[in-house]
Amino acid sequence: MKFFVDTADVAAIAELNDLGMVDGVTTNPSLILKSGRDIIEVTKEICSIVSGPVSAEVVALTSDEMIAEGRKLAAIAPNIAVKVPLTWDGLKTCKVLSGEGFMVNVTLCFSVNQAILAAKAGATFISPFVGRLDDINLDGMELIGDIRQVYDNYAFKTQILAASIRSANHVSQCALMGADVMTAPPNVIKAMASHVLTDKGLDQFMKDWAKTGQKIL
């Protein structure tokens, strides 16, 4: 499973990229706001750090305007994936931009039917929002599994990009469900390294080492 990092924080992206933990980046209007930077400027910098897909989201609501914005965003760098919402106008935009050879990430997916439409419109990625489904007492992981089954049934090439990842457990569950990609904030990716038994074992090793009175350096 590929790891995308869900942030517009350039320093956090660079740190994870240096460790080989970044296969791509996803951004959205909320993350751009949080960065406090110009969308074109910060997206260009991210694309210079990461070689994989970098999702940059349109903000228009009509297909003609989305297409124009998408073309402008795609011109930033060759690894831009234009992010469009899963609306009828978003699907129209996906069809046009994917037909022009651009990567397209169709976002805000909450059903299998939506995922099928995105695949037929030529989406490179479909982004089901796991955490937001959990928030309303629906099973986000069940949606990942259902989309996986349907895509495999018909050999759709669209990659399942699990989004709205809230915890390290979400990451492992997405991997078990067969998601092609997951995108998560930097703190969630880092949390994957944590385990209470690792901490407990390391603490015991350090106590025993201190008793030896030895030094390595």
Q: Which domains does the chain have, with CATH numbers?
A: 2-212 (3.20.20.70)
Closest of 149, 137, 136 to residue 177, by C-alpha: 149
What confidence score (pLDDT) does residue 103 get? 98
Residue pLDDT, tens place only, 17-70: 999 999 999 999 999 999 999 999 999 999 999 999 999 999 999 999 999 999
User: What local confidence, expressed as pLDDT, does residue 209 receive?
Assistant: 97
Residue 207 designated active-site: no
Residue 172 pLDDT class (50, 70, 90 cuts)? very high
pLDDT of residue 10: 97
pLDDT for position 46: 98
CA-only gyration radius of the chain, Å? 20
Residue 25 has a pLDDT of 98
162-167 average pLDDT score: 98
pLDDT band at 197 (very low <50, low <70, confident <90, very high): very high
Q: Which of 34, 44, 72, 83 is catalytic?
A: 83
Q: Which among 172, 180, 123, 124 is positioned nearest to 148, based on CA atoms?
A: 180
| pLDDT given for residue 109 in this prediction | 98
Residue-level pLDDT at 136: 97
Which pLDDT band, with edges at 50, 70 and 90, does 131 fall under? very high
Q: 82, 48, 86: which is closest to 67 by C-alpha?
A: 82
Structure confidence at residue 207 (pLDDT):
97
Q: Summarize the confidence of residues 89-112 as an average pLDDT.
A: 98
- Per-residue confidence (pLDDT) for residue 159, from 0 to 100: 98
- Quote the DSSP letter at residue 163: B
pTM metric for this prediction: 0.96
User: So what's the pLDDT on residue 30?
Assistant: 96
What does the pLDDT read at residue 178? 98
User: How does 58-97 read in b/e, with b if 16+ C-beta sit within 10 Å?
Assistant: bebeebeebbebbeebbebbebbbbbbbbbebbbbbbbbb
Q: Please name which of 136, 187, 132, 130 lies closest in space to residue 5, comparing C-alpha atoms.
A: 187
Kindly report the average pLDDT of the chain as a whole number: 98
The confidence score (pLDDT) of residue 90 equals: 98
